[in-house]
Amino acid sequence: MDASGDPIPDETYLVERYWPDVDLVEARAGLVRLEGALSAMTAEGTPVRHVGSILMPADQVVFSLFVASDESLVRRLNERADLPVDRIARAIAL
């Protein structure tokens, strides 16, 4: 809620992960940890939604989209899941 008591609208955030030597097995294991952290945060009353992720193995990069009320929740989620984060940017879906 903001100062007026209105709910804060959720924003979309793109997480960029430079992840040396990541492969499909390691990326999927990371997503399992991510889903566990998502469940825990939601149970604690801090919902964050994972929209999806894309693995680019040739570039050793994983991009993930999240919906949350602010960037700090996205960062905290990824820290809880022990996933690398190089950048978090607000994104607008077109």
pLDDT of residue 7: 55
pTM score, two decimals?
0.87
pLDDT, tens digit only, all 94 positions of the chain? 444 454 556 899 999 999 999 999 999 999 999 999 999 999 999 989 999 999 999 999 999 999 999 999 999 999 999 999 999 999 998 8
Q: In the structure encoding, which two tokens stand for residue 73, read together? A: 């929740």
pLDDT of residue 8: 53
Phi, psi of 86 (to 5 degrees): -100, -30
Domains of the chain: 11-91 (3.30.70.3090)
| Buried b or exposed e, range 3-38, using 16+ CB within 10 angstroms | eeeeeeeebbbbbebebeebeeeebeebbeebeebb
pLDDT of residue 93: 80
The C-alpha angle 38, 23, 26, rounded to 5 degrees, equals 40
